[in-house]
Chain A
Amino acid sequence: MITHGHSDHARPGHGAVLATQETLDMMRLRYGDNFAGSTQAIAYGEELRLGDVKIKFHPAGHVLGSAQIAVTCKDTCIVASGDYKDASDPTCTPFEVVPCDVFITEATFGLPVFRHGNAADEVKKLLASVTLFPERAHLVGAYSLGKAQRVIALLREAGYDAPIYLHGAMEAITHYYQSRGVALGELRPAKGVKKADLAGTITLAPPSATSDIWTRRFPDPVTAFASGWMRVRARARQRGIELPLVISDHADWDGLTATIEATGAGEIWVTHGQEDALVHWCKTKGLAARPLDLVGYGDEDEHEPPPANEAEA
């Protein structure tokens, strides 16, 4: 059972995979047709039975097709959240609270310093910069699956209707989003466009590309990065970002704690990020909590493979 298409959650080579149609499509896009022995699609809310065990997928609000997985046996229900966020996102189905006994939560932004404000305000910041520097290109680093499409959709919601340019590595996945009915307006490849013509434009690129020689094709680029990590100045400075945009596809601290309370779960397993603080918080609320020290889950913003690898997808 796979929660969503990010590479730290969806790996090739399994015997049988149960996931939403979108997640299966994304895995196919990334790993090719033979990414698993067999596959089965499941819709949000649909219930499967395996002996005594019932399985149900619920929207996680993280990226297109992302799901929380509820597994119920007798009187006990365990929900694995995968990655999730409670903030609204025009590119995917909104997060749903699933009451349960054990909640396995992510903790990417599991520190109280992480509070992501209104993403629309961050996009306004980007547009104000484009207005102030019309002779410069704006490069927005964003994770190729999910974040990039959300930023584009937010730009469209803000009334920006000029063509938006794409790094080659995000074309396939972005077109997939469009094929699933996500309206993103006119998109163009950045490749082959004359340098001067990129003045005043916005280009989306994988985070790793915004600091490589690929950027030389842009006139005096302003380097932006859309990520929850941009909340902390040292992180933005470390990457040489000029315009940090705090836009996250993970729940922030308030989102994590509100969700944990809302599930009604008495026991919380914390994984995928800053476990310590969240485990501590749970205990102060009288909840049984422990870190699940799983290896291999990380933040996709930080560990994105170089664009070349992704271009194969």
Chain B
Amino acid sequence: MNRFAELLDRLAYEPGRNNKLRLLTAYFRETDDPDRGYALAALTGALSFKHAKPGLIRDLITDRADPVLFGLSYDYVGDLSETVALMWPKVSASHDRSSPLPPRSGGEGSGVGGVSARTAASAIAAPPPTPDPSPPRALRVEGGEKTIGHNNPPPPTLSEVVTTLRTLGKTELPRQLARWLDELDETGRWALLKLVTGAMRIGISARLAKTAAANLGDKDAHDVELMWPGLSPPYLDLFAWLEGRSEKPVNRDPTPFRPVMLAHAIEDADFANLDPADFIAEWKWDGIRVQAVSGRDERGHIQARLYSRTGEDITGSFPDLVPSLHLQGSSSFAIDGELLVLREGRVQTFNVLQQRLNRKVVSPKLIKEYPIHLRAYDLLGDDENDLRELPFIERRARLEAFIKKLDDARIDLSPTVAFDSWDQLTAARADPAQAGAGEDADAVEGVMLKRRDAAYLPGRPKGQWWKWKRDPHLIDAVLMYAQRGHGKRSSYYSDYTFGVWTSGEDGEQLVPVGKAYFGFTDEELLQIDRFVRRNTTEKFGPVRHVVHEPDQGLVLEVAFEGLARSPRHKSGVAMRFPRISRLRWDKPPREADRLETLERMLKSETGITAP
């Protein structure tokens, strides 16, 4: 645990991506199984256990420290976990340390003006004229902490912490935590408290951690990414392969999630370099991106799963779709598509679909009123075959055949949009109803362009897929700060500052680009307000800092009328009439838009600038 803590500590201070990689890879090289595997799990967010509440940590310290001293310390340090980690009393150390000191000779004397019980002159009489430097006279010998600890149990390993936390009952947690805190050093205690409170933010992405692991064996991070869904902590098979001790791990999960391929937002200037003949266009549906996977377990039983774009298992929220994924006669398949609500064959708007999202309980009434549907646009696997390396045009042909064979009303094919020139596609995008979308046009938010020869690659590879939204004045931004509203909204956090990504000195960071305080429904206001209260990281007067990390935070789709250059704003741009057009609970903050997108909008579309 101490070594892992040291790694986290160093990563937190290191700004450079390559240097972070080096630190991580060095850690994986020097650390044994299974500790390094659990570390990889912690860094990729693959660990799951119930988090301890800050109140518990506070109780632990108030049982052991003077409340005044704790208060002064907390004020100074500003972070609960860190304060507790630093001031956690060292039971054995303080006992040992006081022993070499001369015993207190007084205390009853009141010093100046008072009568001391002893004469000071005799107490300090006749020390040697020059102090003897060889036997350390210091109260403490360097390295003392180490030797003092020899009677104590060794500090817990990361594996011990992780495996214990998984099974530990709530009532046993405080005592177990206290025991570990006694055994760990300052940095170890800090990392432990961050880990158990679920507040371990160290500024590295899961992708970076996987890349560092791949570097251990000079392997491609892409390979690790592909096999990742089938792996589980502590990743013994992965490390064995990386170190050349065994074959590449095979994915035994019958229904693995495949990392999704994402599109770049296209800009006007991009079209000049693109040939329409290289691309296939589809409607961009205003739904939820999902991956529907079906497979057979070891006993031959069909299993089906529905994943969100981030790989979260959302099968439980859509039981009505599951039977459609049980295709007899097929051993397995994986469809990439859009989750929509269809009523009488017509695609409903996102607002309607939203009634089905984030539901813990799915009632029969809900299922009946909001019938769920899958619109397929890609086939990633079919009967044991991994199709991802095939060109899109071939995958599309297989998808068409597959959907036909499936013959299920709940799953259909996302149609292509015919076009020969960019002008033709521009017209289709402007009026989807006339260009084939018909009555579903309201649920079309633009067009997707996919290269005919594009393999299915995880992440956002350059030049392969493009999204061309219908409304050019929409961006996905991340909620950064919230402030209470006025009047009847004064009890709600209803004024939001949002930001987009940019590369700064400390790597990727969010820069605020605007504020919005309307556009949301009352129900959405309640949801955001709840989110703000539960995810506040700091308070400054009426303003709350809301968590905004690559993997944690709330993405807001912001609509606006125009952009103008503004030297007054840190971002350099100002929005006209910004409002929240929808909440993207489905989108991780790292996928929000970038400042460059706004800057390009500003440059290329002077027409959208406010007069």
Contact = CB atoms under 8 A, between A and B. Distances in A.
Nearest to B6: A125
Interface string B106-121: 1111111111100111
Interface string A107-124: 000011111011110000
A114 B68 CA distance: 16
A234 B114 contact: no
Contact of B101 (A43, A261, A281): A261
A97 interface: yes
B13 A76 contact: no
Contacts of A261: 98, 101, 104
B69 A112 contact: yes
B121 A43 contact: no
Interface in A226-276: 231-234, 236-237, 241-244, 254-255, 258-259, 261-262, 264-267, 274, 276
Interface stretch (A27-35, A53-61, A201-209): A53-61
B124 interface: yes
B75 to A, nearest CB: 9
A61 B86 contact: no
Interface string A70-114: 101001111000000011100001111111111000000001111
A75 B138 contact: no
A18 interface: no
B137 interface: yes
A281 B69 contact: yes
Contacts of A94: 131, 133, 136-138
Contacts of A88: 136, 138, 140-142
A94 to B, nearest CB: 4
A37 interface: no
- Would you call the interface of chain B mostly helix, strand, loop, or mixed? loop
Contact of B98 (A46, A93, A120, A258): A258
A266 B139 contact: no
B97 interface: yes
B138 A99 contact: no
B233 interface: no
A127 interface: no
B77 A113 contact: yes
Interface in B60-112: 65-66, 68-70, 72-73, 76-79, 82-83, 86-87, 90, 93-94, 97-98, 101-112
Given A94-B133, A243-B13, A99 B123 contact: yes
Contacts of B128: 45
B23 A132 contact: yes
A74 to B, nearest CB: 9
A43 B129 contact: yes
Contacts of B26: 132
Interface stretch (A2-10, A163-171, A284-292, A295-303): A284-292
B204 to A, nearest CB: 15
Interface string B580-607: 0000000000000000000000000000
B221 to A, nearest CB: 21
B79 A233 contact: yes
Nearest to A102: B111
Contacts of A287: 107
A125 B66 CA distance: 33
Contacts of B151: none
Determine the interface band of chain A, counting residues with CB < 8 A from chain B.
35 or more
Contacts of A101: 106, 109, 111-112, 114, 116, 120
Interface residues of B, number: 70
B611 interface: no
A65 to B, nearest CB: 13
Contact of B137 (A95, A243, A267, A276): A95
A237 B66 CA distance: 28
Contacts of A118: 142-146
B14 interface: yes
B12 interface: yes
A139 to B, nearest CB: 14
B129 A45 contact: yes
Contacts of A276: 72
Contact of B120 (A72, A95, A277): A72
B515 to A, nearest CB: 27
A234 B112 contact: no
A98 B124 contact: yes
Interface in B518-539: none
A86 B97 CA distance: 11
A182 B97 CA distance: 28
Contact of A112 (B65, B98, B120, B146): B65
B436 interface: no
B72 A99 contact: no
A75 B106 CA distance: 13
A76 B127 contact: no
A280 interface: yes
B328 interface: no
B69 A111 contact: yes
Nearest to A101: B111
B19 interface: yes
B15 interface: yes
Contact of B139 (A78, A97, A267): A97
Contacts of A277: 68-69, 72-73
A115 B68 CA distance: 18
B97 A43 contact: no
A117 B141 CA distance: 11
Given A78-B112, A112-B87, A117 B131 contact: no
Contacts of B94: 254
A257 to B, nearest CB: 9
Contacts of B140: 86-88, 254-255
Given A111-B87, A242-B14, 18 more contacts: A88-B138, A94-B136, A101-B114, A111-B76, A112-B86, A115-B186, A125-B6, A133-B22, A231-B186, A243-B13, A259-B139, A261-B101, A264-B105, A266-B107, A266-B111, A267-B109, A277-B72, A286-B107
19 contacts: A43-B129, A45-B128, A75-B115, A75-B119, A76-B120, A77-B121, A88-B138, A95-B137, A96-B131, A97-B102, A111-B69, A113-B76, A115-B87, A117-B186, A120-B142, A242-B15, A243-B10, A259-B139, A288-B110
